[in-house]
């Protein structure tokens, strides 16, 4: 097994702190904009996290003090020559965001500044978002003659509802942290979003790992289906958990009034 901090990236930094991995998108000179190389490194980093069984949660943040990620790299977008190249870029970005969203561990975005376009789409692929009071969030693609292409039209509407999502996408306006909190776009506002993200992640990793993974799966699959089919998914996954050692441990620990020691089995 490769230690996460042994992998060499050009535009990312991946650190391991016990059960927490922290992935920093690190191109501060371009406000951490996602060029093709950075997207590809994000994909590699996500694979490395999946393959490391010691990692219980992932935090994603931006390098420097101004931005989480200011979007896809506009100088690369400007080079797109035809319909097919545009579609391929959107599919590649969507694929990275899907891989992050489907990780079997909690993923938290520490939004330490601008989260615009592809940057907000990256934050939307995370399970929970913590914003700095200085954060500015938005999907300004229509100002470039585009629409969001890394999942934003779908994930923002699912998270905050189509009316509020359309307001943000049609106006292209940037919202501050407090408005984002009121919209349900972020979960927490904190002066030190990385520290707050660590605290939230530490609280999460105390819980049973398979249950964490399956609660994500239940919500994800339920969002894409009818209530009836979603309830069936929930019952199936609930049943699977009853067969785990962690369920035995969690219930025995409760009854014995001691702290549960989960093994992810
Ligand atoms: C499928 C996905 C599509 C998309 O994501 S489309 C892109 C959506 N994002 C945006 O439209 C945001 C673009 N950026 C901005 O509007 C501004 O930046 C900010 C409001 C975030 C900050 O403005 P300010 O404080 O004046 O800084 P600055 O001088 O514009 O930026 C510093 C350096 O960062 C580069 N940069 C910023 N965002 C991007 C980007 N998205 N792609 C490529 N470069 C970017 C700039 O060009 C500049 O660089 P230099 O110092 O060399 O002039």
Segment holding 214, helix H or strand E? helix 209-223
Q: What is the DSSP letter of 53?
A: T
CA–CA gap between residue 12 and residue 203 (Å, rounded)? 26
Band of residue 2 on the pLDDT scale cut at 50, 70, 90: low
To the nearest whole percent, how much of the chain has pLDDT over 90? 96
CA–CA gap between residue 111 and residue 123 (Å, rounded)? 8
Across the range 207-233, mean pLDDT stands at 97
CA–CA gap between residue 16 and residue 4 (Å, rounded)? 6
What is the predicted pLDDT for the residue at 71? 98
CA of 72 to the centre of ligand 1 (A): 9
Q: In whole numbers, what is the pLDDT of the chain averaged over residues?
A: 97
What is the predicted pLDDT for the residue at 85? 95
What is the predicted pLDDT for the residue at 15? 96
Catalytic residue from among 141, 202, 217, 265: 141
CB 39 within 8 A of CB 47: no
Q: Which residues pair with 13 in a beta bridge?
A: 24
Q: Is the CB of 33 under 6 A from ligand 1?
A: yes
Across the range 236-261, mean pLDDT stands at 97
What is the predicted pLDDT for the residue at 4? 74
CB-side exposure of 251: number of CA atoms within 13 Å?
7
> How do beta strands 12-17 and 57-62 pair?
unpaired
Q: Tokens standing for 264?
A: 């992810």
What is the predicted pLDDT for the residue at 99? 97
CA of 46 to the centre of ligand 1 (A): 25
Summarize pLDDT for 237-248 with one digit per residue, the tens. Answer: 999 999 999 999
Summarize pLDDT for 144-198 with one digit per residue, the tens. Answer: 999 999 999 999 999 999 999 999 999 999 999 999 999 999 999 999 999 999 9
By alpha-carbon position, which residue is closest to atom 49 of ligand 1?
30
CA–CA gap between residue 169 and residue 108 (Å, rounded)? 23
Query: What order of strands is seen across the sheet that includes strand 20-25?
Result: 12-17, 20-25, 57-62, 107-111, 128-131, 188-189
CA of 98 to the centre of ligand 1 (A): 24
Task: Residues 4-205: name the CATH superfamily.
Answer: 2-enoyl-CoA Hydratase; Chain A, domain 1 (3.90.226.10)
**CATH number of this structure's domain 209-256, picked from the four choices 3.10.110.10, 2.60.34.10, 1.10.12.10, 3.40.50.2000:** 1.10.12.10
Q: Residue 1: is its pLDDT beyond 80? A: no
Q: Is the CB of 70 under 6 A from ligand 1?
A: yes
228 is catalytic: no
Q: Residue 263: is its pLDDT beyond 90? A: yes
Summarize pLDDT for 79-94 with one digit per residue, the tens. Answer: 999 999 999 999 999 9
Q: Is the CB of 118 under 6 A from ligand 1?
A: yes
CB 112 within 8 A of CB 191: no
What is the predicted pLDDT for the residue at 7? 83
What is the predicted pLDDT for the residue at 6? 73
What is the predicted pLDDT for the residue at 126? 98
- Ligand 1 atom having least distance to the Cα of 31: 34
By alpha-carbon position, which residue is closest to atom 43 of ligand 1?
73
To the nearest whole percent, how much of the chain has pLDDT over 70? 99
Phi, then psi, of 227 in degrees rounded to 5: -60, -40
CA of 49 to the centre of ligand 1 (A): 29
Q: Is the CB of 31 under 6 A from ligand 1?
A: yes
Extents of the domains making up the chain: 4-205, 209-256
121 is catalytic: yes
- Ligand 1 atom having least distance to the Cα of 143: 11
Q: Is the CB of 73 under 6 A from ligand 1?
A: yes
- Using most ligand atoms within 8 A of CB, pick from 37, 67, 70, 118 the residue to mutate for ligand 1: 70
Q: Cβ neighbours of residue 204 under 8 Å, at least 6 residues apart?
A: 56, 57, 106, 212
């Amino acid at each position: 097994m490769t230690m996460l901090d042994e992998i060499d990236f050009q535009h990312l930094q991946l650190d391991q702190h016990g059960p927490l991995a922290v992935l920093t998108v690190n191109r501060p000179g371009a406000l951490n904009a996602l060029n093709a190389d950075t997207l590809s490194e994000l994909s590699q980093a996500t694979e490395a996290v999946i393959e490391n069984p010691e990692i219980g949660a992932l935090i994603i943040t931006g390098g420097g003090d101004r931005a989480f990620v200011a979007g896809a790299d506009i100088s690369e977008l400007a080079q797109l020559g035809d319909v097919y190249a545009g579609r391929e870029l959107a599919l590649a970005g969507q694929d990275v965001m899907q891989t992050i969203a489907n990780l079997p561990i909690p993923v938290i975005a520490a939004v330490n500044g601008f989260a615009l376009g592809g940057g907000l789409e990256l934050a939307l692929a995370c399970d929970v978002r913590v914003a700095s009071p200085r954060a500015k969030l938005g999907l300004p693609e229509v100002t470039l003659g585009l629409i969001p292409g890394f999942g934003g039209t779908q994930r923002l509407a699912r998270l905050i509802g189509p009316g509020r999502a359309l307001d943000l996408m049609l106006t292209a306006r940037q919202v501050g942290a407090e408005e984002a909190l009121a919209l349900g776009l972020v979960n927490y506002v904190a002066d030190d979003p990385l520290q707050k993200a660590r605290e939230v992640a530490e609280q999460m990793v105390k819980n049973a790992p398979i249950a964490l993974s399956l609660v994500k799966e239940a919500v994800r699959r339920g969002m894409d289906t009818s209530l009836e089919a979603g309830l069936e998914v929930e019952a199936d996954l609930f049943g699977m958990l009853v067969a785990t050692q962690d369920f035995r441990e969690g219930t025995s620990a409760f009854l014995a009034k001691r702290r549960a020691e989960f093994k992810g089995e």
